[in-house]
Amino acid sequence: MELGGDVDPQGMLVLLQDADWNAFVPERDLPPLRERLVALEQEHGTTEAHRFATARLQERGARLMHPSIGWDSPFNDYALSPCGRHLATGPDNGPLQIWEMTTGRAVNKLDTGEAGVGWEGHRDTVQWSADGTRLALAFNTNMVGLWDPFGEQVDPVGDADVTDGRDRPPAFALSPDGRRAYISMRSSHQVMGCIAALDRGHVFSTGSREDGSGPAPEMLPEALPEEFSRRIERDEWSFRRVRWSRDGTRLLGFNGGWACAVDVPGGRMRWLAHTEDVVEWSPDGRRFASIAVGSGTDVTGRLTVFESETGSAVGAPVEQLQGTLHWGMRGEAARLAVVAGDGRGVDVYDEDGRHESHLDIDTTEQIGVSYWGGGERPWAWSPSGEHGACLTSDDQIEVWSLGDDPACVRSIEVPEETAAVLWGADGVLAAIGGFTLRFVRALTGDVLGDFVNGREDEEGLAPVEDGDGLHGVYTADVFPLDDTTWCALASPPEGSGTNLVIAPAERRADLDGLLAWVVDRRFAWPVRWGDLNLVEDAEAAAAELA
């Protein structure tokens, strides 16, 4: 869609009226159109051009969506898509949500069953495929499933139930092509685990095909080299955390102070490295690092950076305060930030473990050191690697420029008990707590979206019970606008229910901070640019839907 150069409101309306909307491709055309209309609104307010474009998008299937996931649903885990444009958040129970970072709005929900996603404190339970078109989840306690994050189908494409039913999610790694996953499980082989198809329906296995179903999982039959068995003092290996190499030829992971690389297929262990503690890999998979902790009350440890190809150390260990490891990329080179808790600051290293700078930041205590601290992620690199964002002890995010002379460029207030900061596309940060999610521009501090999950209608404020019929096929999709006001959409949001909202008329403007028109379950469009049909109660809604 060609829109030409800068135009006034009437000129933009004419351009939109003359445009070939049959040739409109949301992935290509919607972001630049939205950007043009944001600029037009900043100068002229909401115009007929905004309303015209919204009407065309409604004709093409744009639907209203709210982000609420219901009572008692804290976020267990979350992950950015590889391009940084979408965030997936997995609640303790209820649907997984997909958010567009640019707008700070929910754009899709996926059904994960009553048990929800992951397990409190465990990370890596939400994983995107390398191309961002598939999403794998540890769900229903012990299962691993695969979803299309932007598809019409809310159920998994396929899933695997191959573990022994432990009270925690399985360690797993999604393959780069997004079609299968390594899943940790007991087996008769020395290298534990299997590789299960996730795109071919339901897979069930206990390690014996006599009581299995679906495509047979691929086992790892190669024996451990005797040298490695002697070093770890056992004749079997399993991963505590694991990832798949970018070229699809290896599994990289660690357990109990040891890191290793295992070939796929087969399971031949290529190398074994003694790391003493938790390991983190660089985004490109070329490096990994670990801090050997001190003894007693000593907070000083030894940081070592390793090569992933060989497992060999890159240079000698360096003295480093104990903390959590956070890799980023600056161009083709990796960078490492070590966040020490209790206000002891952040140290930045290059990919070979050479110290670059110490940042005097009053860091938060909750930095993700403990076994149950998987949801705590106090540091986020910008996609360029030129900036970093860090949570502080006083509910702030400090944004730092990390050139030759590092400096704090902005402090941003975040909700109490925020546990994680993620840096996505277009300079947008996601600040995530147990029940809170705030989207904010890193370099300006502008808040794009501010949400609280898990509200319960204890006082019966909803205009109608969730799921109750409104008229014909329509039911009520109830959501809270805030602690004192509950509203509802018509479900399905189509036909005469496309723009219907049960809400107080005086709260129309407030709906823009929560709802969005959603296109292709991928892009959010401001509610204020379209016409909402607000009604006061279920009776009025039924009349409108008749």
Contacts of 436 (CB under 8 A, 6+ apart): 415, 417, 418, 451, 452, 453
The pLDDT tens digits for 151-189 are 999 999 999 999 876 778 899 999 999 999 999 998 999
Residue 418 has pLDDT above 80, yes or no: yes
Segment among 4-8, 41-45, 243-247 with least mean pLDDT: 4-8
Report whether pLDDT(387) > 70.
Answer: yes
Of 153, 50, 149, 156, residue with least CA distance to 100? 149
What's the pLDDT score for residue 411?
98
Name the CA radius of gyration of the chain, rounded: 25
- pLDDT of 4: 62
| Cα–Cα separations (whole angstroms), residue 29 to 108, 293, 429 | 20, 51, 24
pLDDT tens string 366-386: 999 876 788 999 999 999 999
Helix, strand, coil shares, percent, the chain, to 5: 15, 40, 45
CB 538 within 8 A of CB 115: no
Encoded tokens for 6: 């800068």
Compute the mean pLDDT over every residue in the chain, rounded to the nearest whole number.
Answer: 93
- Beta strands 201-204; 158-161: pairing state: parallel
pLDDT-based confidence at 394, cuts 50/70/90? Answer: very high
Does residue 72 carry a pLDDT above 80?
no
Asked if residues 398 and 361 have their Cβ atoms less than 8 Å apart, the reply is: yes
CA–CA separation, 345 and 420 (whole Å): 16
Q: pLDDT-derived band of residue 214, with 50, 70 and 90 as boundaries?
A: confident
Specify the pTM.
0.95
Tokens of 192: 């534990």
Strands (E), 215-317: 218-219, 241-244, 250-255, 258-263, 269-274, 279-281, 287-292, 300-307
Measured CA distances, 272 to 188, 258, 325, 464 (Å): 21, 7, 20, 60
pLDDT at 3: 67
Task: List strands edge to edge, sheet with 318-321.
Answer: 279-281, 287-292, 300-307, 318-321
Cα(543)–Cα(546) distance, rounded to whole angstroms? Answer: 5
**pLDDT tens digit sequence for 27-66:** 999 999 999 999 999 999 999 999 999 999 999 999 999 9
Reported as a single tens digit per residue, the pLDDT across 250-261 is 999 999 899 999
Helix (H, G, I), strand (E, B) or coil at 374: coil
Sheet hosting strand 447-452, strand order edge to edge: 420-423, 428-432, 436-441, 447-452
3-state secondary structure of 231: helix
Is there a contact between 395 and 414 (Cβ–Cβ < 8 Å)? yes
Read off the pLDDT of residues 345-374 as tens digits, 9 standing for 90 and up.
999 999 999 999 999 999 999 999 876 788
- What is the per-residue pLDDT across 196-212, written as a single tens digit (0 to 9) for each? 999 999 998 876 555 66
Q: Of 164, 109, 166, whose CA–CA distance to 137 is shortest?
A: 109
Q: Which of 426, 478, 452, 330 is nearest to 100 (CA)?
A: 426
For 474-506, the pLDDT digits (tens) are 999 999 999 999 999 999 999 999 999 999 999
What distance, in Å, lies between the first and last C-alpha atoms of the chain? 37
Mean pLDDT of 419-430: 97
Which of these, 55, 184, 121, lies nearest to 419 by C-alpha position? 121
pLDDT at 211: 63
Closest CA to 334 of 349, 347, 348, 351: 351
Asked if residues 86 and 100 have their Cβ atoms less than 8 Å apart, the reply is yes
